[in-house]
Amino acid sequence: MGRLNFNNPTRRDTTVMPAKGWLALAFRVDNPGAWLFHCHIAWHAGQGLSMQFLETVSEIPGTVNLAELEPTCSIWTQYYATSQCKQWDSGL
């Protein structure tokens, strides 16, 4: 195993993982929310090859204005009922 560099770590938003490889991941925890960690091949996400980091879960409700968001649910439901294009996965 290589040494971890805590003084000046590599900064990347993508990485190539070798077969049976591993990755040490570190990030600052200062932004409450559900953050997607995924492969950039869309159908991989549809097959479950993605996950979410839930950061500071107790603070997430304060970041969302439900009164503004909830009306979009009924609009989507009404649209989707008559749409000819049916969504078969998350759309990622």
Q: pLDDT tens across 25-52, in order? A: 888 889 999 988 877 777 777 777 888 8
**Would you say residue 69 has pLDDT above 80?**
yes
In a domain, 15, yes or no: yes
In a domain, 65, yes or no: no
In a domain, 86, yes or no: no
Q: What's the pLDDT at 90?
A: 63
In a domain, 91, yes or no: no
**Would you say residue 1 has pLDDT above 80?**
no
> Number of structural domains, the chain?
1
pLDDT band for 22, please (50, 70, 90 cuts).
confident
In a domain, 39, yes or no: yes
pLDDT band for 85, please (50, 70, 90 cuts).
confident
Q: How far apart are CA 15 and CA 25, in angstroms?
A: 11
In a domain, 75, yes or no: no
State which residues form the domain around 32: 1-60
Buried-exposed string 57-79: b where 16+ CB fall within 10 A, e elsewhere: eeeeeeeeeeeeeeeeeeeeeee
